[in-house]
């Protein structure tokens, strides 16, 4: 196969240079139509780049219809007439580093992903999951035809009602509405609670999709610094008085990415101020089940006139089981049901029956308890190797999925993440979660995916390379 090594030049991503070189060879006929390309391993060795970079390049070529993949056989050059003549070769997806990292964090390409936002499959109780799936499919309760209820599968909502009661939240069934995932839950709440131009308060840093979703709603975003000690309540009162945000979208327990949980005293002060200034709280409790001894949720302290609450099971059960729910006032919940109907958002009863079975039969609770212990153990080990590498965790690890760590002096998080992509190590720099310049000093680590000697070694090598480059 006449594929030559590439003399990479600075200023352009290596993956783009690989795409351009192979595109030119295919279009000029140097690589004939129908030819089988070398394996990913061979291309990795030929170009001197990581496997992730080669896979990304091949995916882009496939998107341009220049190559096709065949299951178990590899990649082949497509006939030239298969490529739409008007289609540009450039990838239509954003190619800035942050956009590439966001896609890489959810990709399944064999790369190490210490920056990932979910648990690796080896941490999940897949046997219990598959057993519950088989039982659900065989059950006569599973309806094959027809739509599910707009509010969600009734036995699941009853199970959720019981769970909420144990968390100090007394709710009626009509207040619970299931959603496909927490992002959909937030989006639906924002549709009903916001008008274009309304101000929304966010933590800084925060989950990166919050900014993107609020932009779609035409909201004006104001942020408040949130660190591992919480927020500055004097600053909060100033923002509430001056900007009058309609909503504060926040995570009260095991905040992503800092890992902070509001103490009861902080929660009472937060609720007092937001109520005083007429700011409604949307509480995203996606990580609360991973807390070993959770303090009260905001909704449990304030009620649902002041707080709309949402949670889900994708972090504990499976990233591919995106079943979530909202708890709100009866009036708002009725509007959420109507919105589900009008927008085609009726949730899958199959998935909701599966989740209901795991909740009521106890397999979810047992798995959750094991995860909490395992995360505490792994977090201690990851915090230790981070310190040995020169990083400083922002606080002593007390559970959850994430460690928010300050990088050694002079190390830029984005530059390190760029180097990591080239070596099949997908990192989560602070700039994924914040627009504050100081975010370039921080990195988020998933303790489950980082409790690995190979990850620690490769990260240490990256730091060494970055230090050496800074001295040149």
329-351 pLDDT, tens digit each = 999 999 999 999 998 878 889 99
Residue 93 vs residue 187, higher pLDDT:
187
Tell me: cis bond preceding 191? Omega within 30 of 0 counts.
Answer: no
Helix axes 413-422, 97-106, angle to 10 degrees: 50
Q: How many CB atoms lie within 10 A of CB 438?
A: 11
Q: 3-state DSSP call for residue 219?
A: coil
Q: Give the pLDDT confidence of 376-391 residue by residue, as tens digits.
A: 999 999 999 999 999 9
Burial of 319 (0-12, 13-18, 19+ CB in 10 A): middle
Confidence of residue 86 (pLDDT cuts 50, 70, 90): very low
Which of these ranges, 8-22, 76-90, 284-298, has the smallest mean pLDDT? 76-90
* Average pLDDT of the residues in 401-417: 95
**Closest alpha carbon to 239 in 190, 267, 199, 186:** 199
User: In the prediction, which pLDDT does 108 show?
Assistant: 62
User: In the prediction, which pLDDT does 271 show?
Assistant: 98
User: In the prediction, which pLDDT does 30 show?
Assistant: 87
Q: How far apart are CA 102 and CA 277, in angstroms?
A: 35
- The percent of residues in the chain predicted with pLDDT above 90, rounded, is 65
Query: Where do we find the tokens 């979810």?
Result: 364
Q: Give the pLDDT confidence of 126-141 residue by residue, as tens digits.
A: 999 999 999 999 998 8
Rounded-to-10 torsion of CA 270, 272, 275, 281: 20
* Average pLDDT of the residues in 218-235: 95
Burial of 34 (0-12, 13-18, 19+ CB in 10 A): exposed
Confidence of residue 393 (pLDDT cuts 50, 70, 90): very high
Which of these ranges, 41-50, 279-288, 305-314, 438-447, has the smallest mean pLDDT? 41-50
* Average pLDDT of the residues in 95-123: 77
Query: Where do we find the tokens 């291309």?
Result: 43
Given a cut of 50, whether residue 407 has pLDDT beyond it is: yes
* Average pLDDT of the residues in 356-369: 96
Given a cut of 80, whether residue 214 has pLDDT beyond it is: yes
Where is 162: in which H helix or E strand? Answer: helix 154-166
Q: Give the pLDDT confidence of 278-318 residue by residue, as tens digits.
A: 999 999 999 999 999 999 999 999 999 999 999 999 999 98
- Per the prediction, the chain carries an average pLDDT of 90
Confidence of residue 84 (pLDDT cuts 50, 70, 90): very low
* Average pLDDT of the residues in 389-396: 92
User: In the prediction, which pLDDT does 226 show?
Assistant: 95
Q: How far apart are CA 304 and CA 311, in angstroms?
A: 14
Q: How far apart are CA 145 and CA 434, in angstroms?
A: 45
User: In the prediction, which pLDDT does 296 show?
Assistant: 97
Q: How far apart are CA 403 and CA 401, in angstroms?
A: 7
Query: Where do we find the tokens 């990192």?
Result: 427
Given a cut of 90, whether residue 470 has pLDDT beyond it is: no
Given a cut of 80, whether residue 146 has pLDDT beyond it is: no
* Average pLDDT of the residues in 192-208: 96
User: In the prediction, which pLDDT does 90 show?
Assistant: 46
Contact 328, 308 (CB under 8 A): yes
Confidence of residue 320 (pLDDT cuts 50, 70, 90): confident
- Model confidence, pTM: 0.81
User: In the prediction, which pLDDT does 85 show?
Assistant: 44
Residue 218 vs residue 318, higher pLDDT:
218
Query: Where do we find the tokens 């390409």?
Result: 109
User: In the prediction, which pLDDT does 299 show?
Assistant: 98
How is the beta sheet containing 247-250 ordered, strand by strand? 176-179, 324-327, 307-312, 280-284, 247-250, 199-204, 220-227, 230-231
User: In the prediction, which pLDDT does 110 show?
Assistant: 61
Which of these ranges, 10-19, 358-367, 456-465, has the smallest mean pLDDT? 10-19
Q: How far apart are CA 211 and CA 149, in angstroms?
A: 31
User: In the prediction, which pLDDT does 102 show?
Assistant: 67
Q: 3-state DSSP call for residue 285?
A: coil
User: In the prediction, which pLDDT does 11 show?
Assistant: 65
Contact 268, 251 (CB under 8 A): no
274: Cβ–Cβ under 8 A, 6 or more apart, which residues?
240, 248, 280, 281, 306
Which of these ranges, 21-25, 161-165, 410-414, 430-434, has the smallest mean pLDDT? 21-25
User: In the prediction, which pLDDT does 195 show?
Assistant: 95
Contact 261, 295 (CB under 8 A): yes
């Amino acid at each position: 196969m006449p594929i030559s090594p590439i003399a990479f030049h600075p200023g352009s991503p290596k993956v783009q240079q690989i795409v351009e070189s192979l595109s030119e060879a295919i279009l000029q006929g140097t690589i004939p139509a129908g030819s089988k390309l070398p394996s990913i391993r061979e291309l990795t060795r030929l170009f001197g780049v990581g496997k992730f970079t080669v896979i990304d390049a091949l995916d882009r070529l496939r998107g341009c219809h220049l190559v096709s993949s065949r299951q178990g056989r590899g990649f082949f050059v497509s006939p030239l007439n298969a490529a739409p003549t008007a289609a540009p070769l450039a990838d239509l997806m954003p190619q800035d580093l942050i956009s590439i990292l966001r896609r890489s964090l959810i990709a399944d390409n064999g790369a190490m992903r210490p920056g990932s936002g979910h648990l690796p499959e080896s941490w999940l109780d897949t046997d219990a999951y598959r057993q519950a799936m088989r039982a659900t499919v065989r059950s006569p309760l599973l309806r094959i035809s027809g739509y599910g209820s707009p509010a969600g599968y009734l036995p699941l909502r009853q199970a959720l009602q019981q769970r909420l009661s144990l968390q100090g939240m007394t709710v009626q069934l009509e207040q619970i509405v299931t959603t496909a995932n927490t992002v959909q839950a937030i989006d639906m709440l924002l549709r009903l609670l916001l008008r274009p131009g309304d101000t929304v308060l966010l933590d800084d840093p925060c989950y990166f999709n919050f900014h993107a979703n609020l932009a779609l709603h035409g909201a004006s975003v104001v942020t408040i610094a949130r660190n591992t000690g919480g927020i500055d309540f004097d600053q909060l009162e100033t923002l509430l008085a001056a900007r009058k945000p309609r909503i504060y979208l926040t995570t009260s327990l095991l905040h992503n990415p800092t890992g902070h949980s509001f103490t009861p005293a902080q929660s009472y002060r937060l609720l007092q101020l937001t109520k005083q200034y007429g700011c409604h709280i949307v509480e995203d409790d996606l990580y609360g089940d991973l807390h070993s001894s959770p303090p009260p949720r905001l909704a449990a302290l304030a009620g649902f006139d002041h707080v709309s609450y949402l949670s889900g099971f994708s972090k504990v059960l499976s990233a591919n089981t995106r079943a979530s729910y909202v708890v709100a006032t009866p009036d708002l919940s009725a509007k959420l049901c109507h919105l589900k109907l009008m927008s085609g958002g009726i949730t899958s009863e199959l998935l909701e029956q599966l989740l209901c079975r795991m909740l009521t039969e106890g397999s979810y609770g047992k798995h959750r308890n094991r995860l909490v212990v395992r995360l505490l153990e792994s977090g201690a080990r990851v915090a230790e190797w981070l310190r040995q590498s020169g990083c400083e965790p922002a606080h002593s690890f007390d559970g959850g999925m994430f460690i928010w760590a300050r990088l050694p002096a002079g190390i830029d998080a984005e530059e390190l993440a760029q180097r990591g992509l080239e070596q099949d190590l997908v990192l989560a720099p602070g700039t994924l979660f914040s627009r504050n310049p100081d975010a370039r000093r921080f990195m988020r680590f998933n303790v489950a995916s980082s409790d690995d000697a190979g990850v620690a070694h490769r990260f240490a090598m990256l730091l060494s390379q970055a230090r050496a480059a800074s001295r040149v």
